[in-house]
Chains A and B, each alone.
Chain A
Amino acid sequence: MTPLLEVRGIDKSFGPVQVLHDVTFAAQAGEVTALVGDNGAGKSTLVKCIGGIYPIDGGDIVFDGRPVQVHGPRDAGELGIEIVYQDLALCDNLDIVQNMFLGRERRSGLVLDEASMEELAAQTLDGLSVRTVKSIRQQVSSLSGGQRQTVAIAKAVLWNSKVVILDEPTAALGVAQTAQVLELVRRLADTGLAVVLISHNLNDVFAVSDQIAALYLGRMAAQVRTADVTHAQVVELITSGRSGDLGIAQ
C-alpha cells in the first residue's frame, strides 16, 4: 500500500545548525503513526516542514503517490493536511462554531451563513461521537482542556482533511480527558484518515498507534510497526538512536 503522506530525505537547517538530516517518514491512511523523540530531536520542525511553515532545504514531499510542493500553510490545507498545535490556537471569546470556521466562514450573499455552519459543526462533532460538549454555541473559554482539544481536532477534520497531525494532544490533560482524546484520535484513524500523533507519553503512543517513528538528533532512527516492538526498544531508539538491529547504523 502506498502511504498517503511520505517525506523522503528531508534536510532543514536554521543558519549553521542542521536540524533535520535526511529524514524519511510515512503515514498510511486509516492508521495512527506516532512520532516520538526527545526534546530537540526535530519532531516539531518536521511537522512544520510538512505543514508549509518552514521551507525545506532538500528532499521530497509525496502526497498520495505524487510529489508536491508545499510553500505555505495554504498549500498544505489544499492538500488536506491539517495540524493541531499544542497551544490549539482557539479564540476564547468566540463560540465553538465561530472557532471551527474562523477565517473560512461561509457566506450567503453579504451575511454569514450561520445556519449551515452550525449544522456542519454539529455534524462533525456528532460524526466523531463527541458527546461531552453541551452546546455548540458555548464560548470556548467555558470549556475544559479536553473539550478544547476536541474542538481543535474537530476543526481540523471539518475541512475534508486527509492527514491530521496532532502535536502533544494529551499534554496537560487529566486522566479521564486523556482517555477521551485518545479514543477520539483512534476514531479519526478508524474513519480512514492518516493521523500523525506527536507524544512524549509512550503509554499513549502504545495505546493508539499502528506505527512508531522515532527521531534521534534530527535523524529518523527507525519507523516500525507498534505490534513488533517492545516498550524498552522504543525507549532505546529515543535515547540512543538504536536498539539491536533497529536504528541508525554506527
Chain B
Amino acid sequence: MRAGPSQEDIRRHNLGALLRHVHLGGPISRAELTSKMGLNRSTIMALTSDLTAAGLVREELPRETGRAGRPSLVVRPESARVYVFAFDVGPDRLAVARVGLGGVILDRREAVRLRGPFELDELTGILAGFARQMRRKTRDDTVCVGAAAAVSGGVRKGDGVIRFGPNLGTQDVPFGEELGRRLGLGLPVSVGNDANLAALAEHSRGVGAAVRDLIYLHGDVGIGGGIIAGGHLLGGHDGYGGEVGHMVVNPGGRACGCGSHGCLEAEVGERTLLETAGRLAGEQHGRDAVRAVVDAADRGDIVAQEALKRVGDWLGLGVANLVNIFNPEMVIFGGMLREIYLGSAAQVRTRLTLHAMAPQREKLRLRTSSLADDATLVGAAELAFAHVLADPLEVLARANG
C-alpha cells in the first residue's frame, strides 16, 4: 500500500500553487491568497517567505487601500529576475522571447523564415544566437529557469522530437535536444505543438482565462488546434492530439500536405484561399496575403469574396463537427484564422446553425485570440515555467547552480 503524501510533498505542492496564483493572476495580497487557497494565514506567511527567500517573489506594502486597518502585504512576482526563454518556429517566422515570471515579455527577437527545407543546424543556430544576445544584456542577478519551443508540427511527448511538420518541411528531427545543446545553459528544452501551446496560453492568460472547455484553432499555412477539456489540454496518447486541421471534411477534396485529401487544412488553409482568390502567383504570402484577400473582399472584389465565402463554409463545417463532439464553451480563432473568421463570419455561423446541434451551440461563444501573434510565444513560456511551478525551490536551487 502506498503511503499518503508526506509533509514535504504537501509543502512543495502549496509552494507551487501559491506561485501559480502570483504568476497567472499578478500581484495579490496575502489576505486574498489566504481566501483563494483556503489555507491558514500563518501557512501563507511561511510559504511566501520561503518564495521570497528564494528570490521568486517579493512583498511590498500596497498603495492606499482606503480601508481601515493594517494593509495586507502584496506579493509580486520577481519578473525582472526570474525568466525563461520561449522560442517559436513557424513556417514564416522565427521568434525568441525572454519572458519573466508573471508572463511579462522582457525582450524579444524576430526573424523571417524563408519557406524551404528544414535545416536543423542553421535554425537552432539562429535561435540560440538570439537567446545569447538577449542573455548578454541581462544583469548578473537574473536567473534563467527554463526554455521551451513552440513548433508548427507534431511533437512526440517526452523527448521533443518533431515527428511530422509538412509545413516546416521536416520529419523526425530531434529538435529539443539539439536546441538545448546549442543553448548551452544546461537546461532541457521542452517542445510542444504551436497550436496546443497557444491554446494553453489563451486558457491561462487570454480570452479563455475563466473557461474550462475550449477549442483554439490556429491558422498559419495550415490549421492547427488545441483542445482544452475540463481545464486540461487533450494531448492524446503520444502527444499528437488536437490535429483538427487533418479532420477530413470533404472526402475526395483538395490534396493536403499530409498526403490525404479534403482535410480541413486543405480546404481552409492559406494556399486554397490564395488559389481560389487567384492570388497564388502573387508575390505576397503568409499573413499579408490573407489580409490582402479579406481587404479586397471588403472593397467589393467579387473573386476575393467568393474565395472567402468558400473558405468560411468549410471552416464552419469543421467547427460544427468539433462543437458536436466536444461541446466547448468557447471556440477561439487565432493566427490567420482571426482575419478569416471576421471576414467570413456569416458563412461560419450559418454552417454552425445548420450542422451543430442546438444544445451544443446554445451557449457557445466564438471569439478571436486576445494574445494575437504572441499566443504561441506566451504558450511556450508557460510550458517552460511548468516545472518551476511544480517544484519552485528545487528548480531555482538547480538554476542557481
Contact = CB atoms under 8 A, between A and B. Distances in A.
Interface of A: 129, 174-176, 178-179, 182-183, 186, 202-208, 226-232
B294 A175 contact: yes
A229 B352 CA distance: 9
B344 interface: yes
B346 A178 contact: no
Contacts of A186: 367-368
B345 A230 contact: no
A175 B353 contact: no
A230 B346 CA distance: 8
B348 interface: yes
Contacts of B349: 206, 226-227, 231
A178, A183, A226, most chain B CB atoms within 10 A = A183
Contact of A227 (B298, B361, B367, B370): B361
A210 to B, nearest CB: 9
Size bracket of the B interface: 20 to 34
B353 A207 contact: no
Interface of B: 291, 294-295, 298, 338-339, 341-350, 352-354, 358, 361-362, 364, 366-368, 370
A206 B348 contact: yes
A203 B343 contact: yes
B128 to A, nearest CB: 31
Closest 3 CB pairs of A and B: A207-B345, A206-B345, A230-B350
Contacts of A206: 345-346, 348-350
20 contacts: A175-B291, A175-B298, A175-B339, A175-B343, A176-B291, A179-B339, A179-B342, A182-B342, A183-B370, A186-B367, A204-B342, A205-B346, A206-B345, A206-B346, A206-B350, A207-B341, A207-B342, A228-B358, A229-B353, A230-B353
A227 B362 contact: yes
Given A229-B353, A231-B347, A129 B370 contact: yes
A204 B345 CA distance: 7
A172 to B, nearest CB: 11
A232 B348 CA distance: 13
Contacts of B294: 175
B298 A178 contact: yes
A206 to B, nearest CB: 4
A207 B349 CA distance: 8
Contacts of A232: 350
Given A178-B342, A203-B345, 11 more contacts: A174-B298, A175-B291, A178-B298, A179-B342, A205-B346, A206-B345, A206-B350, A207-B341, A207-B342, A230-B350, A232-B350
A232 B353 CA distance: 12
A228 B352 CA distance: 9
B343 A228 contact: no
Nearest to B351: A230
Contact of B354 (A178, A203, A205, A230): A230
Contacts of A129: 370
A227 B352 contact: yes
A105 to B, nearest CB: 24
A226 B348 CA distance: 12
Contacts of A228: 353, 358
Q: Which of A205, A207, A229 is most buried by chain B, counting CB atoms within 10 A of its CB?
A: A207
A150 B40 CA distance: 45
B380 to A, nearest CB: 22
A35 B93 CA distance: 41
A129 B353 CA distance: 31
A179 B298 contact: no
Contacts of A183: 368, 370
Contacts of A208: 345
Contacts of B361: 227
Contacts of B339: 175, 179
A228 B291 CA distance: 29
Contacts of B338: 179
